[in-house]
Structure 1
Amino acid sequence: MMYSSCKVLRRLASSNLAISKEVTRKCSPQLWNLLLQRCMSQINLEEAYIRTKQKCESKKLPQDVNIKGVFACNELDLKEVNVYGFDYDYTLAFYKSSMDFLLYRLGRDMLIDIYKYPSGIASLEYKPGFAVRGLHYDIEKGLLLKIDSFMQIQLGAVYRGLSPVSDEEVLDLYKNRVIPIAYLEPQGKNFQNVTAKMVQLADLFSVPEMSLLCNVTEYFIRNGIDYHPEILFRDVKNSVQRCHPVMHGIVENNVAEYLEENKDIRKVFDRLVAARKKLFLVTNSPYHFVDRGMKFLVGEDWCDFFDVIIVQARKPKFFTDESRPFREYNKKSGTQLWDRVHKLEKGKIYYEGTLKQLEDMTGWRGEQVLYFGDHPYSDLADVTLEHGWRTGAIINELTHEIETLNQPEFKQNINWLQMLTQLIEDHQAQEEPHSQAVVQKWIEERDELRQKIKTVFNEQFGSVFRTFHNPTYFSRRLFRFADIYTSKITNLLNYSVNHTFYPRRGVMPHEYSSYFV
C-alpha cells in the first residue's frame, strides 16, 4: 500500500512518534525522508498485526478432541493381538483424591515416627493440584523442575519447596537450560549401579510424594533448619513406600471410599473373552488388595476372566530379571508355596517370577501380546524394547488435559499464539529502533499468552504433556514406549477388537504445514 506524505504526516501526528510542528517545518529533506521511512515502517507493522489478528478471529476453531479417544503413536492392528495383559493400579483401578490424602498423611506421620523429623511437620497439609506427574527432582540441589523432550529446563516451572525459583538463579545454578543426559539417565556399562542426579516422578502414586517433599523442604527453609536434599528425598520416598502395606489394609476395609467405581471394566473383559483373547494380570500389589478392588470393580468371579494372575511381581525387575522363579500363592493362608511351578494354570495366583518365564511357560510372544500399564517407563519400556510386545499406556490426566484443550478460549489462544509467533519471526529483522520496539511488544504479548496457556492446566507446572511449546520429557518416553495411549481402559469399548489404530502423520519442520488448502 502506498501513502502520500500528507497521509504519513497525519499518521505520524496521531502516533507516539509525533513531532512538533517546529521540528517538522525546519527538518532537512534527508531527515524528512528518514521520518517518513520510520513512520511507514511502524504503519506496516501495525497493519500486519491488525491483519493477522483479524485473520485469527475469523479462523474456524478446531474440532473438539474425543475425551474417550485412543491415540496412536505407532500403527497397531488389534487383529494381530491374541493376548491382553494389564497392570492393576491406575490401569484397571483408579483412585479417588482421598488416596492422595491418605498416602500423604501416612508418609508424613512415618517421617515423624520412624525418621524422627520435627513434630512441627504434622501441621503440614497435602496440597492437591500443586504438582503434576512427570516432574524431575534434583537430588543434589533440592529442586523440583519440569524438563522438555530436548532435556531443557522449562523456566518458570522450577520450585524449591513451595517457592518458585527465579530464572536468573536457575541459569546460575545450571549454567544453561540444557541438562546433560547423564543427569537424567545413568550411562555406561555398569549403569545399574549408578545413581542419576535427577529422579523422574512418573507415576500417580508419586504426586502426594512430591507434595510431601516440597512441604517439608519449605518447612525447613522457613525455620532455618539445615538439611541435605538427597537425604530428604530418600527419607520421603522410603516413608511413602513403607506405608503402602498400611494403605493396603485401610483401602481393603473401605474400598468404596478410595476406589472409583467403573462397571464397564467387566464389559471390556467380556468382549475380549468372547473374541477368544487370552488375558493376564501382572501387578506389584498384593493379592488381597487386588482381590478386594477387583471384586468391587468387576465382581466376585473376576479371576475367571484371567488365564494368568501374577501379584507382587516387583516390576520393573519382573521384566529384567531372568532367574527369579514363580511361586504359587495360597489365597487362604496368604503364603507362598515352596513347590516348583512347571506351568501357569488358570485359577491359581502366582507370586514374583519373570517375564521370560511367563513367555516360556505360555508361548505368548512378540506382537501377539498387548500390555497396558500406567507408567511409560517401568511398565512399558522393557516389554517393547527387549521383548517386542505391543504396549498401551493408561494416562488418567488425559481427561483434564483434553477438557482444557476443548475450551473455545483455549483454542482461540492457541491459534493466536501460533499466528503471533509467525508474525514475530517474519518481522524480527527490523533494524529501525521504533520498529524493534513494536516487535518487542509482540514478544511480550506472546510471553503473557504462553503463561496464560500454561496455567490453565496447572498453576505451577502447566501441562503434563507440554512445556511452553515442546513435548515434556514425560511425553518423550510415552511416545517412545507406548503404541497407543488413552485415559481409561474402558475407552477400548468404542473400538472393535479388530480395529487398526493409525498414528497421525506429523508435520516435520521442512514439510507443508497442511496438505489441505
Structure 2
Amino acid sequence: MLLCRFINSNKNKFKPKCIYTLFDTHVSHKAKILLRFHSQKRLEEAYKLIKTKCQSKKLPKDVNPKAVFACNELDLKEVKVYGFDYDYTLACYKPSLDYLLYNLGRETLIEQFKYPQEIASLEYKPGFAVRGLHYDIEKGVLLKLDSFLQIQFGSVYKGLTPLSNEEVLQLYKNRIIPIAYVEGPHRNASLTLQEPSSKMVQLADLFSVPEMGLICNVADYFERNHIDYHPEILFRDIKNSIRNSHPIMHKIVAQNVSEYIEYNEKLKPFFDRLVNANKKLFLVTNSPYGFVNKGMEFMVGRNWKEYFDVLIVQARKPKFFTDISRPIRVFDEQSGTHIWDRVVKLEKGTIYYEGTVKQLQELTGWRGHQVLYFGDHPYSDLADHEIATLNNPEFKKNANWLQMLTQLIEDHQDCEDPDEQRILARWMAERDKIRNDIKYVFNEQFGSVFRTYHNPTYFSRRLFRFADIYTSNITNLLHYSVNHTFYPRRGVMPHEYISYFV
C-alpha cells in the first residue's frame, strides 16, 4: 500500500506530494515550484530531525576489554581439562617480533632465493595488513572477504596499490567469489603451502602479518619497476623465506625474551587457580621446546612444567588435528633429540613431540565438553585495537549516525524529483564517508579484523563456528568463577531489527 501526504489546492482538490508530475496539465508553473520547494524542504526537515535525534541519543556503554564473549553456551563446571596453544595465547608478542620476522624473511629472500638486492631497502610497514585476509595466488592480490564470500570494495590491493571497484569487477566478474575458488573442492581440506586446494590462501595466523607486508612490498617493487613476476611463485618464495627464518627467530627471541614477549603477571595465578580447582592442564604448540621453555620461564618461572599434565611441542598443527595416524614421540630435554621408543602412556614432566589429537584423546581419556582448548588466538586483535576503537566516543557517534542516516535514506529514496534525488545523493555521499571513516579507525587499508562494512568477515565466521568463547587475554577468566556459565546473547535477524531497535 502506498501512503502519500496530500496538499489542498485552490480548487479544493488533493494531490500526492511526491507524484505531482502526473498532473502537469492541471498545475501551474508557480505551483510546481512551490510543490518542489515543499518536497525539498520535507527532506531537509527530515534530515534535521533525525540528526537532532541522533545527537540526543545516549552513547552505548563501553565494551569491557577484560570480558569473555560467548559464541555458544559454555558451563565451566563441565570443564575438567584446560588446554593451551603457546604463540599468541600464553605468549603475547610485542610489535618488535613483526619487524624481526619481516627482516629475516627479506634477507632469506635475497640470499637463498636470489631476489634483487634492491629489495633490502623495502622497510616493514606496520599497520598495513590485518590477519584473516586472503591472498589470491593466481591473480596476485590481497583482499578481504565477508562471511558470505563477498569482496569488500576498497580493501583489495595489488602490491601497495588499492584497486578500484571497476578493476575488482574486471578481475572477478562478480563481487561474490565462488566457494570452490576460496575453499577448494574439499572444503575441509587445510590450505597448506605444499598442497593448496584453492586459488586463495587465507592468512589467518598472526605470524602471517609480516608475511603479507613482505608480499605486498616486493610485489609493489616489481610493479613499479615493470618486472614480470608470477604471483604464486612470489607467494611460495616468501612463505618459504618466512618459514625458513623461524629457527633463527626462535634463537634471537630466546636470547632476548623481554624484548619480544609481553610479561603477564597474571598467568601464574591463573594456572594456580586451575590446579587448585583440580583441573588438568596441557600444552600443544607448533614451536620447539627450547623456544617455549625460555618464554615460559620468563612468564611463569623455572618450575612452569609442573603445572602441565601433558606437554606436546612441534605438533605441526593443523595436521595435529586432521591427521589420522602420526606417532607421538618423546623429546629428550637433555640431549635435544627425539627418542624412538613407543609411547603407550603420557606422563607428567615428559616432553612429547608431534602426534595427533586422536592419540591424545586415547591416551588420556579426555573428550568432548570436559576439554576446553585455547587456540586460534584472536586475543591480540581484540586487546590491541578492536575494543579500544569500539569504546572511542567519536566511533560510537559515527556508528549511531550511520545507522540512522541509512534508515533515513531507505525511507525517502523512492521520490523521483531531480532536486530530491540530488539531496539523496548528498546523503549517500555522507553515508559512504562515514562508512570509510569507521573502517579507517581500525585499519586504513582493510578495516576491522572482525567485520566488513556491515557483515562479519570470513575470519569471524570461522572463529564463531569453532569457538565457544573468546577474550582479549586468557587470564581474563580470573574475573569469573571456575563454575561460571557463559551464555550467548540472542542475535538479531534482519526481520527482527525494527522491533528490537527502533
Q: TM-score by structure 1 length?
A: 0.90
Matched residues in 2 for 1:140 and 1:512: separation? 40
The alignment partner of 2:409 has SS state of helix
Matched residues in 2 for 1:182 and 1:81: separation? 37
Letter in 1 for 2:434: L
The alignment partner of 1:485 has SS state of strand
In the TM superposition, what are the counterparts of 1:413-492 in structure 2 within 5 Å?
Answer: 413-492=398-477
1:42 aligns with 2:40: yes
| C-alpha contact 1:372 1:394 (8 A) present in aligned 2 | no
The partner residue of 1:346 within 314, 339, 348 is: 348
The alpha-carbon deviation at position 34 of structure 1 amounts to 2.4
> Aligned pair in 2 of structure 1 residues 73, 45: CA closer, same or farther (>3 Å)?
same
| Residue number in structure 1 paired with 2:124 | 126
| Residue number in structure 1 paired with 2:67 | 69
The alpha-carbon deviation at position 398 of structure 1 amounts to 4.1
- Structure 1 stretches of 4+ with a deviation exceeding 2 A read 1-6, 27-37, 188-195, 393-399, 512-517
| C-alpha contact 1:395 1:486 (8 A) present in aligned 2 | no
Letter in 1 for 2:133: L
The alpha-carbon deviation at position 439 of structure 1 amounts to 1.0
Identical aligned pairs, as a percentage? Answer: 69
The alignment partner of 2:496 has SS state of coil
| C-alpha contact 1:148 1:467 (8 A) present in aligned 2 | yes
> Aligned pair in 2 of structure 1 residues 188, 352: CA closer, same or farther (>3 Å)?
closer
Post-superposition CA distance 1:395-440 (Å, at most 9, x none): 4444411111111111110000000000001111112121111111
The alpha-carbon deviation at position 285 of structure 1 amounts to 0.4
The partner residue of 1:400 within 385, 388, 401 is: 385
Post-superposition CA distance 1:340-368 (Å, at most 9, x none): 11100001100011111110110000010
The alignment partner of 1:510 has SS state of helix
| C-alpha contact 2:105 2:238 (8 A) present in aligned 1 | yes
| Residue number in structure 1 paired with 2:208 | 206
| C-alpha contact 1:295 1:302 (8 A) present in aligned 2 | yes
| C-alpha contact 2:383 2:473 (8 A) present in aligned 1 | no
Post-superposition CA distance 1:89-142 (Å, at most 9, x none): 000001111100100010000000100000000111111011011111111111
Letter in 2 for 1:463: S
Post-superposition CA distance 1:30-86 (Å, at most 9, x none): 333322322221111111111000000001100000011110111111011000000
> Aligned pair in 2 of structure 1 residues 190, 101: CA closer, same or farther (>3 Å)?
closer
Matched residues in 2 for 1:515 and 1:154: separation? 27
| C-alpha contact 2:329 2:354 (8 A) present in aligned 1 | yes
Q: Structure 2: any 5+ residue segments left out of the alignment?
A: 11-24
1:240 aligns with 2:266: no
> Aligned pair in 2 of structure 1 residues 502, 439: CA closer, same or farther (>3 Å)?
same
The alignment partner of 2:306 has SS state of helix
The alignment partner of 2:360 has SS state of helix
Q: TM-score by structure 2 length?
A: 0.92
1:100 aligns with 2:85: no
| Residue number in structure 2 paired with 1:57 | 55
In the TM superposition, what are the counterparts of 1:367-406 in structure 2 within 5 Å?
Answer: 367-374=369-376, 394-406=379-391
| Residue number in structure 1 paired with 2:171 | 173
> Aligned pair in 2 of structure 1 residues 245, 173: CA closer, same or farther (>3 Å)?
same
| C-alpha contact 1:209 1:240 (8 A) present in aligned 2 | yes
Q: Structure 1: any 5+ residue segments left out of the alignment?
A: 7-26, 376-392
| C-alpha contact 2:131 2:204 (8 A) present in aligned 1 | yes
The alpha-carbon deviation at position 469 of structure 1 amounts to 1.3
| Residue number in structure 2 paired with 1:87 | 85
| Residue number in structure 2 paired with 1:411 | 396
The alignment partner of 2:372 has SS state of strand
